[in-house]
Amino acid sequence: MDKFVVRGGNPLLGTIKVSGAKNSALPCMAAAILTEDEVILENIPQVRDIETERKLLASMGAEVELGYGRAQHRTRIKCGILSDPIAKYEIVKTMRASSLVLGPLIARTGMARVAMPGGCAIGGRPIDLHIKGLESMGATVTYDHGYLEARADRLKGAHIVFDKITVTGTEDLLMAAVLADGETVFENCAREPEVTDLAALLTAMGAKIEGAGTSTIKVQGVTRLHGARHRINPDRIEAGTFLIAGAITGGDLNVDACEPKHLGALISKLEECGVKLDVGKDSIRVRSGSGPLKAADISTQEYPGFPTDMQAQYMALATQTEGTSIVTENIFENRFMHVGELNRMGADITVQGRTATVRGKSPLQSAAVMCSDLRASASLVLAALVADGETILDRVYHLDRGYEHFEDKLRGVGAQIRRMGEVFGKK
Ligand code: UD1
């Protein structure tokens, strides 16, 4: 199993480039199910979850070419015939976002059989809202042997109010609605940039969608979608992780090829801490300000609030700021698994329910630590970058699910980080 070895102490200097957003790429790849034509996606990150999605689509009979043509980050998908519209457990268990194929499969083939995602390290993560929405659109849903089977000759437009804001739920049902008979109105939708990105692709494929990026989305169903070419948004969570890497190491880092408009909540919070940011059109330069960094509280919220996917990385920074920060996690229960490992490195964090109290200015020491999920892994790397000595991070496969060549990018700006074991995505 791969490990990272990180020696702390170097400020990060130079330019680091952001890849395409995994969380946009996953629904956009699923959207290719909706047409028998070719869909070409640019700026696809080379990360493990994308490879899993490739396998998932290929197992259903789709042609999927990652690294299409000469471009490493271009993907060609053609779902000419979907001979086997089943998302098998072996694939779904490694990536919960596999449930994103549910809506497009029923819309395209009238039938979907999808393994129920198991529990996930960061909470129960049910898909009841996806199912409820599909039932409102006329699908019949049954369960057997750990699989969910949904059928509908043609889905019907409906009025759906989400009980809770769900990102993949909004995306899944949006993909179902674009081929439904009549109008669908969704209320209390997720407003994340990944939803908007998916809607842009669907629109390029001929879908009629209004309001993506707001809490009400209206869709006029069409009978057929065609192929399209689409460029995936930059990854706002990867960009945010690099901003914190620059700030925590007291470096001078230019985070390039990002979309600053998607990073509003993080930018204001870092500025509140005293981090100096020069925000450009598609890049952000991060530098330490004149005085010491100060503590600031965060409370995770749906977009445009502070992203839950940045909570763990922010907590690593909070261990180094002056004063006490209160970190409240509102989206997922049990998303504090990095706390135990940060404390083993010398942090002073206590957790009560959904709130963590981080007492700052802790000198961090190297240790052998274990990654528990994708963003927790990134948090431990950030802590290791300022720890005294050599930290060994085990189970970095969690990190490989969503960060493209993380260690190479960080090494390119001066971090002392290397991988022990196979390097994912490299030939
Ligand atoms: C997506 C992101 C993930 C991010 C999360 C929140 C992808 C592939 N993943 O996950 O990185 O952390 O948004 O920004 O885009 N819920 C239900 N019933 C449902 C669906 C969700 O109760 O049917 C609950 C969840 O348990 C959670 C909350 O709603 O408490 C938000 O979850 P959701 O937005 O669905 O997260 P994902 O889409 O899985």
Cα angle value 280/284/285 (rounded, 5°): 115
Q: Which residue has the least CA distance to atom 5 on ligand 1?
A: 167
pLDDT, residue 427, reads 39
- Indicate whether residue 170 lines ligand 1 (CB < 6 A): no
Atom of ligand 1 minimally distant from the CA of 331: 30
Helix (H) or strand (E) holding 284: strand 283-288
331 C-alpha to ligand 1 centroid (Å): 8
- Indicate whether residue 309 lines ligand 1 (CB < 6 A): yes
Domain residue ranges of the chain, discontinuous segments joined by +? 3-18+234-419, 26-231
Give catalytic residue positions: 120
Is the distance from CB of 19 to CB of 234 less than 8 angstroms? yes
Is the distance from CB of 288 to CB of 247 less than 8 angstroms? yes
- Indicate whether residue 130 lines ligand 1 (CB < 6 A): yes
> Would you tell me how many other CB atoms lie within 10 Å of the CB of residue 194?
26
- Indicate whether residue 168 lines ligand 1 (CB < 6 A): yes
pLDDT, residue 123, reads 62
The CATH homologous superfamily to which domain 3-18+234-419 belongs is: Enolpyruvate transferase domain (3.65.10.10)
Cα angle value 8/9/15 (rounded, 5°): 95
Domains 3-18+234-419 and 26-231 share a fold: yes
Q: Which residue has the least CA distance to atom 3 on ligand 1?
A: 309
Using most ligand atoms within 8 A of CB, pick from 48, 166, 401 the residue to mutate for ligand 1.
166
Q: Which residue has the least CA distance to atom 26 on ligand 1?
A: 125
Torsion over CA: 260, 264, 266, 268 (sign)? positive
Token code pair at residue 209: 């969608």
The residues near 104 (Cβ < 8 Å, ≥ 6 apart) are: 30, 31, 33, 34, 172, 175, 176
188 C-alpha to ligand 1 centroid (Å): 14
Is the distance from CB of 329 to CB of 337 less than 8 angstroms? no
- Indicate whether residue 244 lines ligand 1 (CB < 6 A): no
- Indicate whether residue 406 lines ligand 1 (CB < 6 A): no
To 10 degrees, what angle do helices 236-248 and 311-318 make?
Answer: 10
Atom of ligand 1 minimally distant from the CA of 303: 14
363 C-alpha to ligand 1 centroid (Å): 34
pTM over cut 0.85: yes
Is the distance from CB of 321 to CB of 337 less than 8 angstroms? no
Using most ligand atoms within 8 A of CB, pick from 22, 164, 311, 373 the residue to mutate for ligand 1.
164
- Indicate whether residue 22 lines ligand 1 (CB < 6 A): no
pLDDT tens for the chain, residues 1 to 427: 799 999 999 999 999 999 999 999 999 999 999 999 999 999 999 999 999 999 999 999 999 998 877 778 999 999 999 999 999 999 888 888 888 999 999 999 999 999 987 655 666 678 999 999 999 999 999 999 989 999 999 999 999 999 999 999 999 999 999 999 999 999 999 999 999 999 999 999 999 999 999 999 999 999 999 999 999 999 999 999 999 999 999 999 999 999 999 999 999 999 999 999 999 999 999 997 678 999 999 999 999 999 999 999 999 999 999 999 999 999 998 899 999 999 999 999 999 999 999 999 999 999 999 999 999 999 999 999 999 999 999 999 999 999 999 999 999 999 999 999 755 455 3
- What count of residues does the chain have? 427
The CATH homologous superfamily to which domain 26-231 belongs is: Enolpyruvate transferase domain (3.65.10.10)
Token code pair at residue 27: 């629904």
- Indicate whether residue 132 lines ligand 1 (CB < 6 A): no
- Indicate whether residue 23 lines ligand 1 (CB < 6 A): yes
Q: How far apart are CA 396 and CA 194, in angstroms?
A: 25
Q: What is residue 110's DSSP assignment?
A: S
Q: Which residue has the least CA distance to atom 15 on ligand 1?
A: 23
Specify the 3-state DSSP secondary structure of 44: coil
Atom of ligand 1 minimally distant from the CA of 164: 29
Atom of ligand 1 minimally distant from the CA of 333: 30
54 C-alpha to ligand 1 centroid (Å): 21
